[in-house]
C-alpha cells in the first residue's frame, strides 16, 4: 500500500468509526444516514475515481475500492459503494458533472416507452433508491450504453419509491417510473449492461471483504477474552484452526478483489473474468466466515446487542446481491469456454490477448 493510500484509509476509518457502533448502525437500519453521507461527501470520498474535471477526486479505482472495503468493515449506512462505484462511474462515462447527493443506478433497457417521449415501468430491489438525489438511468442500445441523469426532486411527480430492505435493513426499494420524461441520453460506445453488472459484482465484493475482516477481528478479540475450562478459547486447537481458516478465506477473497482491480486497470488479467471471480470468491468465503464467526462466538453472537450480526447479516444479504456464486460461476464459466482451446493459462489466467 502506498503512503497516500494509508492516509486515505486512516481518514475514512476516522469518519466511519464514529458511526459503526451497534447503536448507530441499528438506528440507521431500515433507513440511511444522511449525516454520514454528508461527511463523506465533504471529504470528497463519494466519487474518488472520477476525473476532477467532472467534479470527482481524480484518484484510482484501487483507492475507491479501499474506501468501499472500509465502508463494508464499518457497516456504513449510506450508499457508498453503489453511488461512488456504479452511479458516479456511469454518470462520468456519459460526461455528466457528478451531483453532490447520492446516485442510484437504474437499468431501464426493458421498459415500456424507452424509445418514446416518456417511459414507465417498475424496477425492483434498487439499493438506497430513497436516498438518491439523482437516478442514473441506463439502457443497452446497439453499439453501446445509453445513459441519462434524472433529478429526483424535479421529476418527483413521475416517480414512486416503495420502501423495502434486505435482511440487514439496508434500503432495497422498488422504483416506479410514471410517464417519466426522457432524460437527455448520451451513448457510451463499447459499454454494455454486462460491464455494469461486472463492476457491481466487484463493488459488492469489496464491501464483503471489509465485512469479513470485521468478523475476523471480532472473533479474534472474542476468543482471547472468553474463558472456558479455565482458559481462553484461543488456547483450544479446534478454535485456533477455525480462526486460521477464516483468515485464509479473508485473504483469498481480498486477493480476488485486488486481482479484479488490477485487471480493470489494464495491468494484468482479464476484467470480464476477474470481476465475477471476485464475487464468486467473496460469496463462498462469506459462507465460511459467517459460519465460523458465529460458531466461535456462541450465544452472544446470536444477539442483536452484540455487533457481530451487523457484519454477518450484511454478508448474507450481499452474497445474494449482484450475482450469487452459482449465477456468476455460470457467467464466468461460459466466458472461459468461449475463449477457445488452449487458452486457459494464457488468456484466462494471465489475460493475454
Partner 1 sequence: MNHGVSALLNLPDIDLPAAAVQLRSEVREFLTAERAKGTFIPHCDAWHTGFDPAFSAALGERGWLGISWPTKYGGHQRSVLERFVVTEELLAAGAPVAAHWVSDRQSGPGFLRFGTEEQRQRFLPGMAAGEIYFALGISEPEAGSDLSSLVTRARRADGGWILNGTKTWTSHAHQCHFITVLCRTSQSQDDRHAGFSQLIVDLTSPGVIVRPIRILDNSHHFNEVMFDNVFVPDDLLLGEEGAGWSQISAELALERSGPERFMSNFPLLEELVAAVAAAPTPQGVQAVGELVADFIALRRMSLTIATAIEAGENPSIPAALVKDTGTRFEQRVPEVTRAVFSPVQRAQNPSLAARYEEAVLLNPGGKFRGGTNEVLRGIVAKGLGL
> Is residue 248 a contact point for partner 1 (CB under 8 A)?
yes
Map residues 258-287 to x or -, x wherever contact with partner 1 holds by CB under 8 A: xx--x----xxx---xx-xxx-xx--x---
Q: Return the SS3 of 303.
A: coil
Please count the residues of this chain forming the interface with partner 1, following the rule CB under 8 A.
64
Grid cell 440487514 is found at 168
Map residues 67-86 to x or -, x wherever contact with partner 1 holds by CB under 8 A: ------x-------------
Site for partner 1 in 220-239 (CB under 8 A): 220-221, 223-224, 234, 237
CB-based contact 202:69 (threshold 8 Å)? no
Site for partner 1 in 151-170 (CB under 8 A): none
Applying CB under 8 A, the span of 82-90, 131-139, 145-153, 213-221 interacting with partner 1 comes to 213-221
For residues 37 and 44, what is the distance between their CA atoms, to the nearest angstrom? Answer: 10
For residues 335 and 201, what is the distance between their CA atoms, to the nearest angstrom? Answer: 16
CA angle 33, 86, 308 (to 5 degrees): 45
Residue closer to partner 1 (CB basis): 300 or 350: 350
> How deeply is 266 buried, as exposed, middle or buried, from its count of CB atoms within 10 A (0-12, 13-18, 19+)?
exposed
CB-based contact 199:85 (threshold 8 Å)? yes
Helix, strand, coil shares of the chain, percent, nearest 5, are 55, 15, 30
Residue closer to partner 1 (CB basis): 300 or 326: 326
Applying CB under 8 A, the span of 43-51, 115-123, 182-190, 209-217 interacting with partner 1 comes to 209-217
Grid cell 465533504 is found at 42
CB of 58 to partner 1, least distance (A): 18
> Is residue 345 a contact point for partner 1 (CB under 8 A)?
yes
For residues 282 and 279, what is the distance between their CA atoms, to the nearest angstrom? Answer: 5
Single out the residue of 241, 298, 302, 304 in contact with partner 1 (rule: CB under 8 A).
241
- Beta-bridge partners for 118: 181
| Closest C-alpha among 93, 78, 56, 52 to residue 195 | 93
- Applying CB under 8 A, the residues found at the interface with partner 1 are 1-2, 13, 17, 20, 62, 73, 213, 216-217, 220-221, 223-224, 234, 237, 240-241, 243-245, 247-256, 258-259, 262, 267-269, 273-274, 276-278, 280-281, 284, 325-326, 328-334, 336-337, 340-342, 344-346, 348-349
Amino acid at each position: 500500500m502506498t503512503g497516500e493510500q494509508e492516509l486515505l484509509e486512516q481518514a475514512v476509518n476516522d469518519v466511519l468509526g464514529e458511526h459503526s457502533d451497534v447503536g448507530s448502525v441499528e438506528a440507521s437500519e431500515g433507513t440511511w444516514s444522511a449525516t454520514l453521507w454528508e461527511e463523506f461527501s465533504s471529504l470528497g470520498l463519494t466519487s474518488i475515481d472520477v476525473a476532477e474535471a467532472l467534479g470527482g477526486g481524480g484518484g484510482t479505482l484501487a483507492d475507491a475500492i479501499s474506501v468501499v472495503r472500509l465502508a463494508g468493515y464499518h457497516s456504513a449506512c449510506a450508499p457508498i459503494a453503489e453511488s461512488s462505484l456504479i452511479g458516479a462511474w456511469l454518470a462520468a462515462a456519459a460526461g455528466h458533472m457528478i451531483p453532490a447527493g447520492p446516485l442510484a443506478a437504474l437499468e431501464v433497457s426493458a421498459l415500456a416507452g424507452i424509445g418514446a417521449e416518456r417511459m414507465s415501468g417498475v424496477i425492483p430491489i434498487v439499493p438506497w433508491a430513497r436516498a438518491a438525489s439523482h437516478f442514473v438511468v441506463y439502457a443497452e442500445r446497439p453499439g453501446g450504453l445509453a445513459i441519462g441523469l434524472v433529478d429526483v426532486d424535479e421529476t418527483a411527480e413521475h416517480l414512486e419509491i416503495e420502501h423495502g430492505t434486505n435482511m440487514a435493513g439496508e434500503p432495497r426499494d422498488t422504483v416506479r417510473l410514471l410517464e417519466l420524461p426522457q432524460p437527455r441520453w448520451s451513448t457510451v460506445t463499447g459499454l454494455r449492461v454486462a460491464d455494469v453488472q461486472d463492476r457491481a459484482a466487484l463493488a459488492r465484493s469489496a464491501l464483503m471483504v471489509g465485512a469479513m475482516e470485521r468478523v475476523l477481528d471480532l472473533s479474534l478479540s472474542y476468543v482471547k477474552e472468553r474463558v472456558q475450562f479455565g482458559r481462553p478459547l484461543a488456547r483450544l486447537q479446534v478454535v485456533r484452526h477455525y480462526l486460521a481458516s477464516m483468515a485464509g478465506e479473508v485473504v483469498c477473497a481480498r486477493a480476488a478483489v485486488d486481482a479484479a482491480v488490477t485487471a480493470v486497470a489494464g495491468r494484468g488479467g482479464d476484467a470480464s473474468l476477474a470481476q465475477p471471480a471476485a464475487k464468486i470468491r467473496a460469496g463462498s468465503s462469506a459462507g465460511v466466515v459467517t459460519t465460523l464467526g458465529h460458531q466461535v462466538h456462541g450465544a452472544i453472537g446470536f444477539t442483536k446487542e452484540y455487533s457481530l450480526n451487523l457484519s454477518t447479516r450484511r454478508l448474507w444479504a450481499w452474497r445474494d446481491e449482484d450475482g450469487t456464486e452459482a449465477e456468476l460461476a455460470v457467467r464466468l464459466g461460459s466466458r472461459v469456454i468461449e475463449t477457445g482451446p488452449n487458452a486457459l493459462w494464457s488468456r484466462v489466467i494471465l489475460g493475454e490477448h
